[in-house]
């Protein structure tokens, strides 16, 4: 996981404090897209991560209304954060460790590795293609070889992480 700057971390910290679980009508929309294990992985996320995933998916949906695969990738990209089960303060500390290149282990390491962990969960749940690729590499600017660079840029911009 890469981090851009301290100001970015501060913005993310305060944004996370405001985040709430999706409202009932949003949960209905999510249930129409995610089923089975994918739905379970989404629901296992903390409310702030569900909020972030939904916001990301809404932005993708507006920009690419006929691309359900991209919307799905946006909804699922951070499911790996459930492995660390860290709150806002713990995440900020883990991110600061990464920024300062301080070695981490345990839940901090799991948080910083949430892309790979989430991609593994999604692959085990039967997901593939851009859903798994975006979960695995969503902190990387360059698109993987098999992924359209404009799709990647759209997802990355919507994620804003």
Contacts to Fe ion by CB under 5 A: 78, 159, 161
User: What are residue 23's phi and psi, to 5 degrees?
Assistant: -70, 165
Task: Find the residue with minimal CB distance to Fe ion.
Answer: 161
Minimum Å gap between C-beta 3 and Fe ion is: 11
d(CA 96, CA 156): 22
Residue 106 to residue 3: CA distance in whole angstroms: 19
Question: Minimum distance from CB of 53 to Fe ion (Å)?
Answer: 7
Q: Which is nearer to Fe ion, 127 or 159 (CB)?
A: 159
CB of 101 to Fe ion, least distance (A): 19
Nearer to Fe ion, 15 or 125 (CB): 15
Q: Which is nearer to Fe ion, 57 or 64 (CB)?
A: 57
* Dihedral in degrees, nearest 10, Cα atoms 24, 41, 77, 96: 100
Q: Which is nearer to Fe ion, 151 or 159 (CB)?
A: 159
Q: Supply the minimum distance, in Å, between the C-beta of residue 90 and Fe ion.
A: 15
- Do 32 and 67 contact (CB within 8 A), yes or no? no
């Amino acid at each position: 996981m890469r981090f851009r700057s301290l100001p970015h971390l501060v913005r993310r910290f305060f944004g996370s404090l405001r985040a709430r679980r999706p409202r009932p009508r949003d949960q209905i929309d999510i249930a129409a897209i995610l089923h089975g294990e994918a739905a379970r992985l989404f629901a296992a996320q903390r409310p702030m991560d569900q909020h972030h995933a939904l916001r990301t998916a809404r932005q993708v949906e507006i920009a690419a209304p006929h691309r359900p695969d991209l919307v799905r990738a946006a909804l699922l990209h951070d499911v790996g954060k459930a492995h660390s089960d860290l709150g806002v303060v713990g995440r900020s500390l883990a991110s600061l460790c990464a920024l300062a290149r301080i070695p981490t282990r345990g839940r901090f390491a799991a948080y910083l590795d949430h892309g790979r962990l989430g991609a593994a969960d999604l692959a085990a749940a039967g997901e593939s293609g851009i859903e798994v690729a975006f979960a695995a590499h969503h902190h990387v600017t360059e698109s993987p070889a098999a992924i359209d660079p404009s799709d990647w840029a759209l997802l990355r911009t919507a994620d804003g992480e």
